[in-house]
Amino acid sequence: MTVGNGGERGAMAQSGGHVKTERGSYVRTVVTLDGPAASGKSSVARRVAGRLGVPFVSSGLLYRAATWLVEDLRGDADDEGAVLGILAERHVRLVPSLTGDRILVEGRDVTGELHTDAVDGAVSAVACHPGVRDWVAERLREIPGSFVIDGRDMGTAVFPDARFKFFLTAPAEVRARRRVGERSADLKAVAEAIARRDRLDAAQSAPAHDAVHVETGDLTLEQVVDRVMQALSGVGAV
Ligand code: C5P
């Protein structure tokens, strides 16, 4: 567990999602939840954010929005220059909120169109471009205030100084079964799609050295949320 740069362990009191340090000043709280596809991180992050009373941000939505745009404009996902050209031309906005973040493209809310098999299939190709990763990181670092954020590299590349970091894991077959429960689909096909995404996302998916690992395979969603909340309360964050 990391307790930020200042080492204000212990005497922390929650205040609107902000944390009071021993010196009496309030600092924003960023809680990162990283993990592989279908590890349950977004469901957990949403509930933890709800209990803390702060917005939940899904970093994957920005990668999905970039992929959605490339598909909409029939661009080439493997061509970094072409993808960056599209991102420079179109206005993509991530709007954090207490009920989950939304993505607006040219002012239109496209959030409901981002979790399709087509986007799932192409998103890793878009996400592996360094310029796209910079584009996403820039947007995430602009978000003001306290929030809970999920992704692959939130605790490493994007918010290395986050005060609280978690890494969720679950066996591949458990993740596939969870995903089949979310979208009516064939277990074998889903397992293959997840294995493919694990492989393609591996470069940006290493856990932060100071993250708390939570193996979620045998736990219910509420049990995972309780574990995270217990860990946060153990360092005085709640
Ligand atoms: O988390 P989610 O499944 O919505 O992420 C979709 C895709 O976005 C991932 O498969 C990965 O390719 C990319 N991603 C990433 N880094 C993040 C979050 C998502 O590369 N921090």
Sheet hosting strand 30-34, strand order edge to edge: 56-58, 147-151, 30-34, 164-169, 212-215
pLDDT at 99 over 70: yes
Last residue within a domain, chosen from 88, 114, 144: 144
Q: Measured over all CA atoms, what is the biggest interatomic distance in the chain, rounded to whole angstroms? A: 55
Separation of CA 237 and ligand 1 centre (Å): 27
Cβ burial of 48 (10 Å; 0-12, 13-18, 19+) is buried
Separation of CA 221 and ligand 1 centre (Å): 20
Q: Are both 97 and 40 inside the same structural domain? A: no
Q: Which of 25-39, 178-192, 207-221 has the lowest mean pLDDT?
A: 178-192
pLDDT at 70 over 50: yes
**Which atom of ligand 1 has the smallest separation from the CA of 126?**
12
Q: Are both 158 and 79 inside the same structural domain? A: no
Q: Are both 75 and 104 inside the same structural domain? A: yes
Residue among 6, 20, 7 nearest 237 (CA): 20
Question: What CATH number has the domain bearing residue 188?
Answer: 3.40.50.300
Domain hosting 68: range is: 60-144
> How many CB atoms are closer than 10 A to CB 139?
16
Q: Are both 66 and 135 inside the same structural domain? A: yes
Q: What is the pLDDT of residues 129-150, one digit of tens each?
A: 999 999 999 999 999 999 999 9
**Which atom of ligand 1 has the smallest separation from the CA of 124?**
12
Percent of the chain with pLDDT over 90: 73
Last residue within a domain, chosen from 144, 161, 193: 144
> Which is higher by pLDDT, 222 or 7?
222
Distance between CA atoms of 154 and 33, rounded to whole angstroms? Answer: 7
Ligand 1, pocket residues at CB < 6 Å: 37, 59-60, 63-64, 123-124, 127, 151-154, 197, 201, 204
pLDDT at 20 over 90: no
Residue whose CB lies within 8 A of the most ligand 1 atoms, among 123, 154, 165, 190, for a mutation test: 123
Task: Give me the pLDDT at residue 11, please.
Answer: 30
Nearest CA to ligand 1 atom 8: 60
Distance between CA atoms of 180 and 208, rounded to whole angstroms? Answer: 29
Count of domains forming the chain: 2
Separation of CA 232 and ligand 1 centre (Å): 25
Tokens of 119: 């986007």
pLDDT at 218 over 50: yes
Task: Give me the pLDDT at residue 8, please.
Answer: 34
Residue whose CB lies within 8 A of the most ligand 1 atoms, among 150, 168, 201, 205, for a mutation test: 201
Last residue within a domain, chosen from 94, 115, 144: 144
